Structure formats: structure tokens, C-alpha cells
Amino acid sequence: MTYPKIPLAQTVVQLCKAKNIKHIIISPGSRNAPLTIGFTHDSYFKCYSIVDERAAAFFALGIAQQLKEPTAVVCTSGSALLNYYPAVAEAFYSNIPLVVLSADRPKHLVGIGDGQTINQKNVFKNHILYSANLKLDLKDEKNIPVHEELPILKNLEDKFERLLGLQKDIQTHNEEEINVAINYSIFKKGPVHINIPFDEPLYETVKKLSVQPKTIEIALKPNDIEDYVLKSCLEDWNSATKKMMLVGVNTPGSVDKKWFDELAKDDSVIVFTETTSNLHHPSFFNSIDQIIAPLTPEEQNQLQPDILVTFGGLIVSKKIKQLLRKFKPKQHWHIDEKMANDTFFSLNNHIEATPNEFFEAFLPKVTHYVKSDYKPFWNRVKQNRLKKHKEYLDQIPFSDFTSFNTVLNTIPNNYILQVGNSSAIRYTQLFSLNKTLEVYCNRGTSGIDGSTSTAIGCAVVSKKPTLLITGDLSFLYDSNALWNDYIPSDFKVVVINNQGGGIFRILPGHKNTENFDTFFETTHNYNAKHLCKMYDFGYKKATDNSTLKLALKWLYLDDNQPKLLEIFTPKNVNDEVLLDYFKFIK
């Protein structure tokens, strides 16, 4: 087998292999050549070449999101590393394991004006679980550098012995740092950065390894919920007549259905689920804004819970956040192994466990159901909203709203649905989805960048077909996502093209002015047709209900290429249709 000659590169590659990091996304460069040689010459690794580092990092994030195990990205030195930052931040807030391997210049070449060089150490310090700054290998005896810090030694034998000891210390340091960083990513679920200095020559190879790095394992302890915590929770739970459960981003199948069947029996409990929660139950409230948006202050006060229980990732619905910040629950418990956000400024109990662990310990000890009209009342509101929702759809013109309704209702069973941010995920939240779908959205930072790259990374490793629904700005922003050779033939994209940032038209502001059109809505006349031709995607467009229905039939036909459907909606109608919706359903 061929290996890079540099021991540090061998160490990084061997430890990635020992830690079962199989998928390696490499952006071409010279300084990272030792790593590229190491990964691409070992058949254990599945290597991908993606030029754009920002797209590469989100592609890796999509793979890690699906596999729930670390994926590595490899780049050269300089600004290449900074292009990883959006995906690193998303991984940090979404608890997705991502290992950043950045090649760097030697220390003596940093800060002297050398090309393609920046200060790379700890560059992600505010959005990273761990930063490992590795040390440069000492060169062999034929190329031993003269360092001022080394004392003058009496003879060459002493000199070599001293250097051998220094190299051993360097090797030990590097092995420990790499182990710690990767272990953090695996067990704490998030991004880590390993910065790796290499000196030239970079392309030399050998046939045998010169190092055998040590693998350090971590012994995991079970999450034991203290008895006094359970007792206190039970006392409060058994006396509260209004309990609300709110579930954010949640991995499909991660919570046992039996616990929700149990909660459904209790009239003092209502469960609000976001689309990204991937939870379904007849008694749940799955379109939060549909319930919340039309409420008067008096009705909001009536909804105010005594106890709010949350788990899962970040919440999409701005309306539920506003309501619970204004009408604060008396208690807020958050269930999570890792952290608890005080989103509603009322957090008083962080239960450090998985939802399954908490429910297993807690629900069997609930001795009785409190008599309450809390859920029955809001269930009547829910049924009325659903009735009005159907009536509204029958009378409105072709728009974003009708397009989302049609698209979401025609997705075949067992698809993975990736949703872009901004308008796309907010519209999706207004509809009931097919229960067989698995829904994902980059809600860690809620940015429009990287949605397409993430969806393609997901599609590459998923056994199920993937559909991305996204807006025009998000799609155009991440068009380099299509610049790779790994897109599956069953990958599909729906772009809702309302010729700009349509979400800004429903926010307070002076619409239909030159300033608004240019600097807020970002009005444009671009489309995806030429991109599809360049990247060999099948393409169709829809401009009304009839062409949309025909195009959707085409979209799901089995073909030998990925497909994109672009839906053009009237930008001057969309905002009025959405705003009138909340008035109508009341």
C-alpha cells in the first residue's frame, strides 16, 4: 500500500480509520497533499472530491446527519478553511459530528507574508467542541533543521538522541490531541477542528508505515436521573392542569411511540410538534402557527401552560416563541443529554437524559391523570382550524401557499424530505405531512446557505430517495452544490421561484419600493434552467395548478438522471394570500 512519507499525515489517517471515520470529503490543494495521499490510497475510506469548500462542508454535514457518525472534510491552508465556517456553525448548533482536517504552514512561515497563509489555530473557537493544534514533525537526520532553542550538544550521537526524544514527545502529543478531538465529535455530537502543519516536501510516499498511533477509547456512563429530580417533577406534574410539550428538531424513530400513546390519555397535556420533529400522533398539534397565529391576547393567556416540557433541537415557529415569552410557563423543563437553551426565559430544570430515558423513568410513576379541559378545548380549536384551512385552499389563487399544498400532498411514501430555510420551512409547517416521510432542515443557524449541498450529501448515503424543497434565493446561493460527480439519479429538487426573498414581503416594511426590491426582497429574473443543462439535471417548470400537477407526475417517474422542478409563483400575490390565511382560519 502507498502511504504519505510524513509521520504526522500517517498518524491522522490511521486514527481516522481506527475511529471508523469512513467518508472523507477532500477539496483539492497542495498543502493537504499528504492527507489526500493517505486517504485516497486506502480502500477503507470512501473519498469525495468537491472543489468548493463551503459546499464540501455542507455535503459532509448531510452525510453525517444521516449516518449519525463523524464525517471528515480535508482542505489546504489559507482561506479554504474559512469557507467551512457556515457548516461548522450549523453542525455546532445541530449536534452533528463533523471533523475538520486543515493543512497548515509550519509555524515559522505564518505571519511573515507567505502566500495562502492565515492564522488557523483555534479559528472556529466560538463554534467548535474541540480545537486540536498539532505539532510539526522533526525532519530526518539528513535534513535536521538548526533550532536556536536546541542547546549545543557535544557530539552528533547526543544530538540525534535528543532529537529522537523530541520527536517522540511530538508524536505522543499529536496522537493524544487527535484522539481527544475525534472522541469529542463522536460522543458529544458536534464539530471538531484538527489543524495539521506540514513542511515540504509534501508529495513523497513510502510503502510501509513509520508510526503506529495509539487509539484511546472512552468509557460511557449511563444517564441516571436522580431520585429527588424525579420526585420533584412528579409532584408538580400531578398537580398541574395545563401541561404543554413542545418538540423541535428530532431524529426519526428516536422516541418510542408508547410514551406518546401514554401522554395522549392525559387531558391536561397538549403536544405541539414541529414538522422537523418527525413525530406523529392523532392527538398531537402538528401545525403550531395554524393554532397560535389567530389568537387574541386573552386566548393566548388561556393557552399558557403551568409546565412546559421541551426536547429536540431548535424551534422554527416564531409565534410559539413570542407567545411563551409573553405568557411564560410557571416551569420549563428541557430534556437533553448535552444542553438546555433558555428559549422562553423560564427554564428551571435541565433533565440530562434522552427523552426515552426520562419517559421510562417518569411516566410509569405518574399515578393519575389530572381532570382538565386543557386538551379537549384546544382540540376543538384544532378541528375548526383544519376545517377553515380546507375552505381557504378552495378559494385562493395559484401561489406559494397552493404550491406547497400540492407538492407536499404528492410526495411518495418513504422519501427523505430536505427543506430549505426561510419561507420553505415555514410554509411546510402549515401542512400535515405523510407519516412515512423523514424531514430534515438546517435549523442550527437557520441560514439559506448549504441546503442543497446538505440534501445531496444526505442522498449519497441514504437508502431512501431524497427530495429537496427550497426557495429560489437559497438554491441560487448554493448552486455550487451541483458541482460534483456523486449526485444520485433519484435525487429530486423542487424550487419555489417567487423572484426574490418572498419572506420579507410578510414582514413589517415598505413593500414595492425600489429600496425594498433591491436591498430586502432582492428581486431577480433568474431561473434554474441553464444550471440544470450544465449539470445534467432533468428540468421542468410550472406556472399554474394544471402545469404543476403534470410536472409532479414527471418528477417521480423513474429516470436515469436527477431532476429539478421549478415552480414560478406570483410574488405580488403570495404575501397577501399568506397573511389573509391567518385571518380566515380564525
The single residue listed with the C-alpha cell 480535508 is 74
Give the closest residue to 457 by CA, choosing from 498, 479, 487, 421. 487
Backbone φ, ψ for residue 285 (5° rounding):
-110, 100
Give residue 99's Cα distance to chain centre: 14
- Could you tell me the residue range of the domain that residue 532 belongs to? 396-584
308 plus 342 within the same structural domain: yes
Q: Does some domain include residue 421? A: yes
The string of DSSP codes covering 90-113 is HHHHHT--EEEEEEE--GGGTTS-
Q: Check: CB of residue 79 under 8 Å from CB of residue 54.
A: no
Sheet holding 23-26, edge to edge: 46-49, 23-26, 71-75, 98-104, 191-197, 130-133
- Last residue of a domain, which of 381, 410, 436? 381
Q: Tell me the pLDDT of the chain (586 aa) as tens digits.
A: 999 999 999 999 999 999 999 999 999 999 999 999 999 999 999 999 999 999 999 999 999 999 999 999 999 999 999 999 999 999 999 999 999 999 999 988 888 888 788 899 999 999 999 999 999 998 743 444 444 344 444 555 555 555 666 777 999 999 999 999 999 999 999 999 999 999 999 999 999 999 999 999 887 777 788 899 999 999 999 999 999 999 999 999 999 999 999 999 999 999 999 999 999 999 999 999 999 999 999 999 999 999 999 999 999 999 999 999 999 999 999 999 999 999 999 999 999 999 999 999 999 999 889 999 999 999 999 999 999 999 999 999 999 999 999 999 999 999 999 999 989 999 999 999 999 999 999 999 999 899 999 999 999 999 999 999 999 999 999 999 999 999 999 999 999 999 876 666 666 666 767 777 666 667 788 899 999 999 999 999 999 999 999 999 999 998 899 999 999 999 889 999 999 999 999 8
What cell numbers appear for 440 in the block? 430534515
357: how many CB neighbours lie within 10 A of its CB? 17
Please report, for the domain that includes residue 129, its CATH number.
3.40.50.970
Which pLDDT score, from 0 to 100, does residue 164 have?
A: 61
252 plus 168 within the same structural domain: no
- Last residue of a domain, which of 184, 199, 214? 199
Q: Does some domain include residue 142? A: yes
354 plus 410 within the same structural domain: no
What cell numbers appear for 513 in the block? 419600493
470 plus 369 within the same structural domain: no
Q: Check: CB of residue 485 under 8 Å from CB of residue 398.
A: no
The single residue listed with the C-alpha cell 480509520 is 17
Which pLDDT score, from 0 to 100, does residue 221 have?
A: 77
Q: Does some domain include residue 221? A: no
Alpha-carbon Rg for the chain in angstroms: 27
294 plus 400 within the same structural domain: no
Q: Does some domain include residue 474? A: yes
344 plus 438 within the same structural domain: no
Give residue 24's Cα distance to chain centre: 18
171: how many CB neighbours lie within 10 A of its CB? 19
Q: Does some domain include residue 97? A: yes
- Last residue of a domain, which of 152, 179, 199? 199
319 plus 447 within the same structural domain: no
429 plus 521 within the same structural domain: yes
Going by the DSSP 8-state scheme, the letter that residue 294 receives in this structure is: T
| Cα–Cα dist 36/21, whole Å | 15
Q: Does some domain include residue 181? A: yes
Q: Does some domain include residue 107? A: yes
334 plus 429 within the same structural domain: no
